[in-house]
Structure 1
Amino acid sequence: MTTKYAETEQQTGAKYVGRPVDRLDGRAKTTGEARFAAEHRYPGLAHAALVHATIARGRITGVDTEAARAVPGVIEVLTHENAPAMKPAPAVSLLNLSSLASGTSVNYLATDEVHWNGQPVAVTVAETPEAARHAASLVRLTYEELPAAVDFAAEEPNAAPQKGNALQPGGAAKGDAEAALAAAPVSVDLRFTTPPYHHNAIEPHATTAVWDGDRLTVHEGTQSIAWLRKHLALRFGVPEQGIRVLAPFVGGGFGGKGSVWAGTLLTVLAARATARPVRLALTREGVYHTVGGRTPSTQRVALGADADGRMSALIHTSVARTGRIGGNPEQITSASGHLYDARNILLRQSLVQLDLLANTAMRAPGESIGTFALESAVDELACELGIDPIELRMRNEPARNPLDGKRFAHRMLRETYAVGAERFGWRERDPRPGSMRDGRWLVGMGVATAYHPSWQMPADVTVRLGADGGLVVRCAMQEMGMGAATAQAQIAADEMGVPLESVRVEYGDSELPTAPGAGGSMQTASVAASLVEATRKLKQSVHALARRSPASPLRGLRPADLEARDGGLYQGGRGETYAEILTRAGRGHLEASAGTGMIRFLAKTLRDRRRWVKAACGAQFCEVRVDRDTGEVRVSRWLGVFDVGRVINAKTAAGQLRGGIVMGIGMALSEETLIDHRTGRIVNPSLAEYHVPVHADIPRIDVHYLDEPDPTMPLGLIGVGEVSITGAAAAVANAVRHATGRRILDLPITLDKLLPD
């Protein structure tokens, strides 16, 4: 890999971009120096706890808080009978993207209505967290129960077509796919199901809220500082400029911290009601009951092909759910419109509303579960045809987007499969199911395609150059452990030609220039675009300052001829350092800003969408061992090869790719949110019963990326945060199919589904 870095530096002039730089916040996080949302102290700090409804739908008919108020240390018990009013959540509108931050439409503690089992219906505030939790357990409520729909499978027949919009189409079609399927010489027609899933970030949701008159300070683990600030201003009727949101450290999010949920709103409400700083740290169970997870799904994938494997029909339909009080549809069929050159395509998504907590985005929403069904069906078609699964995919690899003929901005899927097959030893695979064995273990090898669209949003960045040569990058972006600040420091160091150690990145504070949310694998590219523009302006300002001095060796040189290196501007051996220029001019610093306004952003986005399809892609290779007697599945080897454009940090990118694969293995083998179909209650709301993969479940994961830039994206980067979970569950299922001969259509792949008949 050292040679690769040397080649990159020689070709692009990059000294830091592409290298495996340690995270700038790594020491703070590993030593305990970093303070998260629940670790900030204030004089008079009080603690809050939630009381959750125990019915799925109905009205509160009685509230008894006497025992709760008698607990020593209790300050207040807030219910719908005495809580200050909040303004209702705004209607969702693409003209106001921050409206998407509403986790639900419920106006908490302003109504006696109950919309899901687990809805917060009271808040206790006390001097200690123990007293608050004890008081919460003593609040007694009575209800009038109303009929509730909580069983997804039972309500599936009531699903209605999903309404599409400019960002999320509800379906697409080319030709007559059903007729082509009926006429196809070879076909498969399969029904898949995936269960609900929940995020389990290492840091549970927590909020610390402090009011000072009408000014509000909020410490929050959020994926979108700007949206949270706007949302709080609207809900509490105060100016946005009077709210400060601080999120310098976020202990993981995966989509669950992208919206504003009840815990945040009720902490701020409790702080206002008590005139005290208030902290609410949700229990793990509280997270499950108040923060939405991934929707369950049923999916039909039907494929028709000629005898040589050329696809004549591709049908992918889905049913997902939202809550009656909110939720975001997932783009389950999204990848199916881009991956295969089928002559006829039908994509359709439908939704059913249930009396459950609103669902929300979870890593690669839609694509992660959609590729499980699509890539499993492609593998089954390969079995029917007797064609190698990789060869079948390559025969159907499109030159242009299959639905509309648009060009791909960057697509090297063939290369990822070629590299992966060689590195994984695919030629050693015996294609016969159950033919490869290691003692009592049945050995299987499976592949699947990874795919995730590339996004970009507006971002504002300010760069300040000091007379000492130090550089400060300022942007209110979010850092959830993926190394966002480190990547931007590497970019800034290269653009300005300064040592990495002289760059400081300020982030995680709403007082800084506005950044987009950390979601959709778009934050790095969005911020990088503005950072590159800001550094260009800054270098122009430095050059203009130098030209004013007769003593400057830069006089007479054009800015376009200058190279930023060695802490200054040079042409060949002629030039001087930034420190020399600023010191001679008597300037303590120079500053430049850049950003993309919403109008320019929308115009560029629409223009690009008319011309290109932009996405990251890759090839997932999985080897499993299945115990022939017990059905136990162990993943024994993994290789993921990805086309993610230019990689900014080799170390953090590899970590992101591995993390997505681990989540995909969890989807495939163990994760499942269980809901009582009588009551709507989540019955496994803890890490003791919701089984995320542990170290013993995961082998060494080998990841490789092509590091070929996308010329249509800032610095050529596409995004790495989400693509690696896509296709992962299918790769496991396909390997299990090869090992056992059984096609598992319903996740997770548990022992009972593989036990001998």
Structure 2
Amino acid sequence: MSNVQNFIISSVRTAIGWVPGQWLPGGKPDPLIERRAAIGRQASRLDGPEKVTGGARFAAEVAMEGLCYGALVHATITRGRITALDTGMAEHAPGVLHVVTHRNMPRVASPALIAITDPTAVGNSSLPIMQDDRVHYNGQIVAMVVAETQEQADHAATLLRIDYAETAAPTRFDAAKPDARIIPSLIIDANHCTVGNPERELAGSAHSVDAIYRTPGQNHNAIELHGLTVAWDGDALNVHDATQMIAPTAATLAKIFGLKREKVRVLSPFVGGGFGAKGFWDHQIVAVAAARMVGRPLRLMLSRESVYRIIGGRSPTEQRVAIGADAEGNFTALVHTGYSVMPTYSASPEAYTLGTRALYSAKSFEFLQRHLDLAIVANTFMRAPGEAVGTFAVESAVDELAHAMGMDPIELRLRNLPDSHPITGVAFSQHALDQAYRDGASRFGWDRRDPVPGTRREGEWRIGMGCASGSFPYVRMPGAAVRITLHRDGTALVACSAQDMGMGTATVQVQHAADRLGLPMEAVRFAMGDSDLPAAPMAGGSAQTVSIAGSIIVAAEKLTGELLRLAGNSSPLAGLRAGEVRLEREGIASTADPSRHESYASILDRANRDEVVVTATGTPPLEFFKHTMHSTSAVFCELRVSDVTGEVRVDRLLGSFDCGAILNPKTAASQFRGGMIMGLGLALMEETLLDERSGRIMNPTLADYHVPAHLDVPEIEVMWTGIPDPRSPLGARGIGEIGITGVAAAVANAVFNATGKRVRELPITLDTLM
């Protein structure tokens, strides 16, 4: 169980006064799973036409009268103080309205670090934001220029003259190891967890592998850069922001600027990619403060370099994985330990052992995560934070062990699949990774793989196949709320402050609401992206879809009761209770006798009502108490490696997933493929290069930081078991992050099968294979 789940459970217990032995919800499958019409059907994204025709407006595209523009200035030292600051040339440059520095920045508190127990706590860093002359990391914001045009602001920003007094700072990964911390964190339930005596079991095992695996830091590169458009209206604040946490951002801005919550409105109907980065960072506070100082609407869009300088990414890791097995291949020991970077002012550990804890059975375990304090920008969540890099290590080790034993790597994995959570013993709610493997292997043609590395060749190319597993925990956030407005004409509006970063949130929730209310899809609209709407949780942890779905279920039940009350004694439904009816055929019908039916239009006509409005919050996610819930993956890769250049060309990828019910195959396949493409980047090219002498990122552009382009992406096939999880809303679990999990290991294992060379450090580049 993840610490996200633990925090949720703890807060829920307190809120409802739960005691052990109390009945828990989620014991029966949702009946809608069996009779759904729109859910599970291919449906194109509802926002597609708006986006392809240019009608969609993103945060930095909102037009406002009198708009001015900001440009950031970043520190060029790692740690120290500003000793001289000359803003004169910048202030007198054409079009400049203001230069914001620590000298005139309003006194504001740092946002509270992100925490599940406080949904309004969204900070990625606890450092003060331009409150003094101190510099904490290379790239920190030290000034912002505001001008009439973006070009004028960018030019003036180069005219500032800043001198620093530099002090020593920790910037070297290896040098920081002696001072590594073992601390409780947001994601990892126990940073040090031991079951049995794994070192003794390793020593006595018939077969074992014990190796170190390394992964680099990575930076976020969403197509849409971080940006916001800010406007003050007296003491009211309106912010158009590229964020994946709309309601929490509004609450945080209200706290920081001393405003009543209802005076802050955050709008974000479209987000051009988030992946964990579109949270709350320094630039939002600086932009809001600057807009108030100049008394005009202000737009700040970060440059690609600024994203690298002040928006955190994935932490580098060094991981030890040791696995022992008996003569039959049953694991006797599983050790996963190591180091990752998390500054003391950060809140986001790279939880690389989290997926491993639920993946395999073993006689003994040890998991240990140590955090290094380096003077860098606070790291943050990046798609499958921890699991993406953790599976590279553990799944490479499983492949190494299978080769040493002369056993098929799929057979070794299936032999060690658990029946319940290996550490806690809690039963899985639904778990069919074995089926995902068998289905995937059959579709992929795994039987054509030659187990002897380097055997298959085509001219200069060595051909190889590899596979790997992945696991990502199910999360349903508490406190998600929705409002349903049912109109007399038989249409409905479902509203909450949710955000869509490209996942198709509105589309799948319209599908769900249509089925839940017994309406055609075209009769349902979904309003989102506005903090004035009922609060939805942040979009993270692959949790948003089921969190909102759970709220719609409760709201529909509340709506049913209200409609029965309005129907009265003149209705064919007279005498029926909410538990005896269901919403279908654009009205309400008796479950026992479907002929007892009345349309919404008829009920509202008789009641002389134009609409019925209900607002509801989802039930507490108590399904965590009795069941272990994880999405899992079996990833297959076929690739070629050139004898001449060492070039790796991935020819085929197949992902076979067990993720509960698939709510929209079209959008789900897109999510899976997107994750797998990010996995290719992780495996073969993405790497943040940090100059350990200065703590400065050396490749803050897409010219030097490589991500997969079209020609790098092979044929990608996705499939799924489609087995509903009986304890989750709609039988679904999250799919946003399981797609990347396991891909890097599958690629590395295919490279070994092709060449006989085991690569234990990412990315796999030409020089490592020559």
Q: TM-score range by the shorter chain?
A: over 0.9
CA distance in 2, matches of 1:405, 1:323: 34
User: Relative to 1, partners in 2 of residues 1:735 and 1:138: Cα closer, same or farther, differing over 3 Å?
Assistant: same
1:61 aligns with 2:83: yes
Residue matched to 2:656: 641
5 Å matches for 1:378-389?
378-389=398-409
1:577 aligns with 2:596: no
2:55 corresponds to which of 33, 56, 74: 33
Residue matched to 2:204: 183
User: Relative to 1, partners in 2 of residues 1:701 and 1:467: Cα closer, same or farther, differing over 3 Å?
Assistant: same
1:405 corresponds to which of 411, 422, 425: 425
CA distance in 1, matches of 2:180, 2:575: 70
Residue matched to 1:622: 637
1:21 corresponds to which of 43, 54, 60: 43
Residue matched to 1:517: 538
Residue matched to 2:477: 457
1:366 corresponds to which of 371, 383, 386: 386
Residue matched to 1:394: 414
* Secondary structure in 2 matching 1:98: coil
1:684 aligns with 2:699: yes
Contact 1:168-1:331 at 8 Å conserved across structures: no
CA distance in 2, matches of 1:744, 1:373: 10
- Structure 1 residue 84: Cα displacement: 1.9
Aligned residue pair count:
737
CA distance in 1, matches of 2:61, 2:137: 30
* Secondary structure in 2 matching 1:323: coil
Larger CA deviation: 566-575 vs 60-69: 566-575
Contact 2:341-2:350 at 8 Å conserved across structures: no
CA distance in 1, matches of 2:529, 2:223: 18
Encode CA deviations 1:370-415: one digit per residue, 9 max, x unaligned.
0110000000000010000000011111112111211111110110
CA distance in 2, matches of 1:231, 1:487: 29
- Structure 1 residue 92: Cα displacement: 6.1
1:310 aligns with 2:330: yes
CA distance in 1, matches of 2:187, 2:281: 26
Amino acid at match of 1:134: H
2:140 corresponds to which of 99, 102, 119: 119
CA distance in 2, matches of 1:466, 1:668: 51
Residue matched to 2:74: 52
CA distance in 2, matches of 1:324, 1:707: 42
- Structure 1 residue 610: Cα displacement: 4.0
1:42 aligns with 2:64: yes
1:436 aligns with 2:456: yes
Amino acid at match of 1:392: L
Residue matched to 1:698: 713
1:339 aligns with 2:367: no
- Structure 1 residue 576: Cα displacement: 2.7
Identity value in percent: 48
* Secondary structure in 1 matching 2:697: coil
CA distance in 2, matches of 1:609, 1:556: 37
Residue matched to 1:479: 500
Q: Which runs of 5+ in 1 are unaligned?
A: 1-7
- TM-score, normalization by structure 1: 0.95
CA distance in 1, matches of 2:320, 2:701: 31
1:567 aligns with 2:582: no
* Secondary structure in 2 matching 1:737: helix
Amino acid at match of 1:133: D
Residue matched to 2:350: 330
CA distance in 1, matches of 2:261, 2:288: 15
- Structure 1 residue 722: Cα displacement: 0.4
* Secondary structure in 1 matching 2:373: strand
- Structure 1 residue 293: Cα displacement: 0.6
- Structure 1 residue 215: Cα displacement: 1.0
Residue matched to 2:762: 747
5 Å matches for 1:539-688?
539-548=560-569, 550=570, 552-570=571-589, 571-596=593-618, 601=620, 604-605=621-622, 608-688=623-703
User: Relative to 1, partners in 2 of residues 1:104 and 1:279: Cα closer, same or farther, differing over 3 Å?
Assistant: same
1:88 aligns with 2:113: no
Contact 1:233-1:240 at 8 Å conserved across structures: yes
CA distance in 2, matches of 1:159, 1:557: 64
Amino acid at match of 2:268: A
Residue matched to 1:4: none
* Secondary structure in 1 matching 2:746: helix
Residue matched to 1:722: 737
1:417 aligns with 2:427: no
1:349 aligns with 2:369: yes
- TM-score, normalization by structure 2: 0.93
5 Å matches for 1:142-153?
142-153=163-174
CA distance in 2, matches of 1:218, 1:453: 33
Residue matched to 1:247: 268
Encode CA deviations 1:240-281: one digit per residue, 9 max, x unaligned.
2210000001000000012x1121111001011111111101
CA distance in 1, matches of 2:134, 2:642: 51
Amino acid at match of 2:660: G
1:108 aligns with 2:123: no
* Secondary structure in 2 matching 1:161: coil
CA distance in 1, matches of 2:88, 2:210: 60
Residue matched to 1:3: none
- Structure 1 residue 239: Cα displacement: 1.4
CA distance in 2, matches of 1:451, 1:11: 24
User: Relative to 1, partners in 2 of residues 1:574 and 1:723: Cα closer, same or farther, differing over 3 Å?
Assistant: same
2:233 corresponds to which of 212, 221, 226: 212
Contact 2:185-2:347 at 8 Å conserved across structures: no
Contact 1:454-1:615 at 8 Å conserved across structures: yes
* Secondary structure in 2 matching 1:29: helix
CA distance in 2, matches of 1:140, 1:579: 69
CA distance in 2, matches of 1:318, 1:468: 61
User: Relative to 1, partners in 2 of residues 1:193 and 1:166: Cα closer, same or farther, differing over 3 Å?
Assistant: closer
Contact 1:324-1:355 at 8 Å conserved across structures: no
* Secondary structure in 1 matching 2:120: helix
- Structure 1 residue 290: Cα displacement: 1.0
Amino acid at match of 1:53: A
Residue matched to 2:247: 226
Contact 2:113-2:125 at 8 Å conserved across structures: no
CA distance in 1, matches of 2:318, 2:283: 31
Superposed CA RMSD in Å reads 1.7
CA distance in 1, matches of 2:273, 2:114: 26
* Secondary structure in 2 matching 1:747: coil
Encode CA deviations 1:116-169: one digit per residue, 9 max, x unaligned.
111110010011111111110101100000002112233234322233578632
Amino acid at match of 1:139: L
Amino acid at match of 2:610: G
CA distance in 2, matches of 1:243, 1:701: 44
Amino acid at match of 2:76: T
CA distance in 2, matches of 1:423, 1:172: 38
- Structure 1 residue 95: Cα displacement: 4.1
* Secondary structure in 2 matching 1:49: strand
- Structure 1 residue 11: Cα displacement: 7.2
Encode CA deviations 1:540-596: one digit per residue, 9 max, x unaligned.
322332234x2x333355544434332122343442321122122211001222104
Larger CA deviation: 573-582 vs 48-57: 573-582
Amino acid at match of 1:105: S
User: Relative to 1, partners in 2 of residues 1:9 and 1:658: Cα closer, same or farther, differing over 3 Å?
Assistant: farther
Amino acid at match of 2:695: G
- Structure 1 residue 185: Cα displacement: 1.6
